[in-house]
């Protein structure tokens, strides 16, 4: 989890504890938790905002799979753009 001006006011320590606890759950439990979080989040977003969130999640997955497929090559050699690239950071 990276810090940027957009996320500077978040409680990163609490979020890391929550994420660590969630990641300790079995995969099926994590999937159920994720689905519940998505539904609760979608209720507070417009359809366009939700589409943008899903696009961000897809990008995260694509970046992960690309990195796993090219271990030790570093960020500069990746083809899939990251959040920093898209945000101009």
In this structure, what DSSP letter does residue 88 have? T
38 CA to centre of own chain: 12
Question: What tens digit of pLDDT does each residue of 37-87 get?
Answer: 999 999 999 999 999 999 989 988 988 888 888 887 766 666 665 555 555
And the tokens for 55? 């696009």
Residue 15 dihedral angles phi and psi, to the nearest 5°: -65, -40
Q: Confirm whether pTM is higher than 0.85.
A: no
Give CA angle at 65 (60, 66), nearest 5°: 95
- As a whole number of Å, the CA-based R_g of the chain is 15
Question: What tens digit of pLDDT does each residue of 64-78 get?
Answer: 888 888 887 766 666
Looking at residue 30, what is its pLDDT? 96
């Amino acid at each position: 989890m990276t810090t940027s001006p957009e996320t500077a006011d978040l409680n990163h320590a609490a979020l890391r504890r929550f994420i660590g606890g969630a990641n300790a759950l079995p995969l099926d439990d994590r999937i159920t938790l994720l689905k519940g979080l998505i539904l609760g989040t979608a209720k507070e977003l417009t359809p366009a905002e939700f589409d943008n969130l899903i696009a961000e999640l897809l990008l995260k997955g694509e970046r992960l799979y690309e990195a796993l497929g090219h271990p030790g090559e570093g960020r500069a050699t990746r083809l899939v753009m990251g959040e920093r690239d898209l945000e101009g950071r």
